[in-house]
Amino acid sequence: MVNVLPDAYVARDADNVSFYAKEYIMKIHDALFRWLRQVLYIASVTGMSLMLVMIFFQVISRYIFGFSFSWSEELARFLFVWVVFIGGALIMGEGGHIAVRLLPEIVKGTTVGVALDIIINVFSVIFILILIVKGSGMTQAMMFQIAPGLGIPMGAVYSIIPVSGVLMLLYIIRDIASLLAVKQKSEQDKEK
């Protein structure tokens, strides 16, 4: 049998192997989500910066030089759409979306609180799945329409909707798994 865990994670008995394997997988999991957060942050800041530069030069060229590029306003608008959806996925990963947390805070730490958090996340999954399915349909339907200024298919602009939905879904799945792990750990602590 080939050992896929580093030597530091190799255990002497069967019970500890499972624990160390889970710990190693969680470290990889956390590193991947940190990397994803960094990529989304860089993409969001780059898109916003590029959009601001484009708008600034468009205003300068229009009012000082008397002309403006036909594609600059369209590019700024498309960048705004992408930044919004990338930012939505980024904020989903950080749990920063606006929410009414009164009831969940009242029942926090109880079985009802965990169940309520899971129900909230299940409804979020349903919404995100609708976003992915409908966004994919819109992307495919709009591939024939060409943006007049940039000459790219509008489907390329709309493609951020399902991509962002998939990223949000990854974060929701992570949150649900975390809730279930906390619930399982609390049940194990009660049994001891």
pTM (two decimals): 0.76
| DSSP letter (8 states) at residue 13 | S
For residue range 47-102, what is the model confidence (pLDDT) as tens digits?
999 999 999 988 888 888 888 888 888 899 999 999 999 999 999 888 777 676 77
Most confident of 20-34, 97-111, 142-156: 142-156
Q: How confident is the model at residue 188 (pLDDT cuts 50, 70, 90)?
A: low
In this structure, the dihedral spanned by the alpha carbons of residues 53, 55, 57 and 63, taken in order and rounded to 10 degrees, is: -160
CA distance 55 to 50: 9
Other beta carbons within 10 angstroms of residue 104's beta carbon come to: 15
Q: Where are the domains of the chain?
A: 7-191
- In 3D space, the residue among 147, 41, 56 whose CA is nearest the CA of residue 96 turns out to be 41
- In 3D space, the residue among 21, 6, 182 whose CA is nearest the CA of residue 111 turns out to be 182
- pLDDT for 1 beyond 50: no
Cβ distance 110 to 64 under 8 Å? no
